[in-house]
Amino acid sequence: MFGFLTPEVGLFEQLQRLQRDMDDAFGAWTGPANIRAMAQGAWPAINVGTTAKQVDVYLFAAGLDSKKLDISIQNNTLSISGERKIEVPEADNYYLQERFSGEFRRVLTLPTDVDPNKVDATYTNGVLHITVQRSEASKPKQIQVK
């Protein structure tokens, strides 16, 4: 996603990096994979975290026009699409052109107890942060023994 993770040099570190690349290629992430998951390397990168009360989704998408994003949620499926256009200037030489430019769409399946009516989104420093509250009924309740 961001090129390779690069440990600061050293021969052993390079072997570790090779190990990590192999893990990435063959799937070291052991949690259940999103059934709608896209192949690794999709832009933008996404992180999802959960607490008892809410689910937080982070999209690492720098240089977006947040007004032109299309964020929608249906039951527990969250869909984010938009365009990140990079203006290519008239220049003599282009040496590196690694950044993603164009339309993107990412769809995620969130835990089933999220409430689609309680979604909040903010865009700061290039990270789109979406919070979805979990519905009351499914929060754990302590049961006292009389």
Where on the chain is the footprint of other proteins (CB under 8 A)?
1-8, 10, 13, 16, 29, 31, 34, 40, 42, 44-56, 58, 60-64, 86, 89-100, 108, 111, 123, 125-127, 129
CB of 26 to other proteins, least distance (A): 16
Nearer to other proteins, 63 or 75 (CB): 63
Nearest 5°: the CA angle 139, 29, 133 is 25
For the beta carbon of residue 78, count every other beta carbon within 10 angstroms. Answer: 23
Identity of residue 142 = Q
Nearer to other proteins, 89 or 146 (CB): 89
Torsions phi, psi of 139, nearest 5? Answer: -70, 145
Nearer to other proteins, 90 or 146 (CB): 90
110 is written with which tokens?
């969130």
What is the C-alpha to C-alpha distance for residues 141 and 104, in angstroms, rounded to an integer?
40
Identity of residue 9 = V
Nearer to other proteins, 16 or 138 (CB): 16
CB of 33 to other proteins, least distance (A): 8
Nearer to other proteins, 48 or 121 (CB): 48
Give burial (CB, 10 Å; 0-12/13-18/19+) of 55.
buried
CB of 137 to other proteins, least distance (A): 20
- If we measure between CA atoms, which residue out of 78, 83, 47, 81 comes closest to residue 65? 83
CB of 135 to other proteins, least distance (A): 17
CB of 67 to other proteins, least distance (A): 12
